[in-house]
Amino acid sequence: MSEPISRRDFMKATVYFVGGLVSAAIGLPSIVYLLDPALRSEAGEAWVPIGKLTDMPEIGKPYPFSFTRVRINGWERTASTHGGFVIRRSEDPNDLLLLNSRCTHLACTVNWKEEEGIFACPCHDAGFDKEGRVTHGPPPRPLDRYENFRITEDGVLEILYKEG
């Protein structure tokens, strides 16, 4: 026959067990409460018009564009600005390169420098060539591209913007 459990040990075990349950019941919701904004998925996408193709006639010239997205964060509407460059590679209206102007190092905005023929990042002195490849500086990879774009019937260039 096994040892009968003593009253003291039974009380101890019960207190630990109930204490554990109570801690979990309070602790888990607390953590979820604190991390709530990080646990939300912010997926969403939209077609954003960025300009008429007829306004970008020259082949090989980077045309800058920018657009603003508004999102509700908590109790406030937050506007964030995005931008990039459209480069026509040939007469074919669909032969476009759309570069994101967000530097792939630490997210500063790059500018087109006509004289040097590069996109320069002012933050840590980086450069990207017309294809977005890194020419010098710390960025780990080429400029991002907007891969999904379309030209509407009235000749407006639109890009697919993905949130999150």
Size of residue set near ligand FES by CB under 6 A: 11
Nearest 10 degrees: Cα torsion 103, 131, 119, 138: 50
CB 104 within 8 A of CB 117: no
Q: Does residue 15 belong to the site contacting other proteins (CB under 8 A)?
A: no
DSSP state of 108: P
Q: Does residue 32 belong to the site contacting other proteins (CB under 8 A)?
A: yes
Q: Does residue 123 belong to the site contacting ligand FES (CB under 6 A)?
A: yes
* Interaction residues for other proteins, span 59-118 (CB under 8 A): 74-76
Size of residue set near other proteins by CB under 8 A: 10
| Dist. CA 134–CA 137, nearest whole Å | 7
- Cα distances from 109 to residues 73, 87, 143, 145, 146, in angstroms, run 23, 17, 11, 14, 16
Q: Does residue 39 belong to the site contacting other proteins (CB under 8 A)?
A: yes
Report in angstroms how near the CB of residue 123 gets to ligand FES at its nearest.
4
Residues contributing to the site for other proteins (CB under 8 A): 29-30, 32-34, 36, 39, 74-76
Residues contributing to the site for ligand FES (CB under 6 A): 103, 105-106, 108, 121, 123-124, 126, 137-139
